Structure 1
Amino acid sequence: MRTLSGDPSATPLSFDRLVVVETARQGDYEPLQPDVILAFHELCLVRDDREWFMGQLDDDGSVICWASYGSDLAEAIRSL
């Protein structure tokens, strides 16, 4: 993960946080139930139901995702 991303500080995060993804309707969010959360500075990759979502880590520790990047972790990391 660190080698592929080029981020030596990349780290897994705990699940004790709110994780949501924006929906097609402006301003609406859907909760995610992640089984993996990876942080790359303020960006995160979140896996929910075998799909990787990219988002941002907020100051309160929550993660707001904006899009799915598919099921391939290496491809999602390259999209960071």
Structure 2
Amino acid sequence: MAGAQLPAGWTPEQIRGVSGDREAVVLSTDLVVTWTGSPGEEERLCPQIILRFHELCLVKPVNDEDWYMGGLNEDGSIDCWSAYGDLYEALRGL
């Protein structure tokens, strides 16, 4: 996680400890991220921070306080399906 943008007030050790994933990493924010809120409704998110936990990701969009959970696709894009009000809650939901 060195050199990548971390959530304010969080260290790599804290993220790995709360999530239980010792291999958690920060990804580049140039990935395509899609949020599916309701069937048939998709929205493209502009990520500020992306955290990867094997195949799962947590995405913090620009100008949004929520964290979105999704899956990393083979093409590098991320499809999100749930949202959390804070990072701790999202990490525990992995």
TM-score of the pair, normalised by structure 2: 0.78
**Structure 1: runs of 5 or more not aligned:** none
CA drift of 1:19 comes to 0.3
Alpha-carbon deviations, 1:23-62, whole Å to 9, x = none?
31x2431000110100000000001212100000000000
SS in 2 for 1:15: coil
User: RMSD in angstroms over aligned alpha carbons?
Assistant: 1.0
Match of 1:22 among 33, 36, 51: 36
Distance, in Å, in 1 between the alignment partners of 2:55 and 2:36 is 17
Q: Which amino acid aligns with 1:65?
A: C
| 1:18 counterpart letter in structure 2 | V
Which segments of structure 1 move beyond 2 Å, counting only runs of 4 or more?
Answer: none
The amino acid across from 2:91 in the alignment is I
Q: Distance in 2 between matches of 1:9 and 1:31?
A: 27
**Distance in 1 between residues matched to 2:68 and 2:16, nearest whole Å:** 18
Give percent identity, aligned residues only.
51
Which ranges in structure 2 are unaligned for 5 or more consecutive residues?
1-14
Compare relative contact order (CA 8 Å, sep 6+) and give the higher one, 1 or 2. Answer: 1
- 1:48-63 aligned at under 5 Å gives the runs 48=61, 49-63=64-78
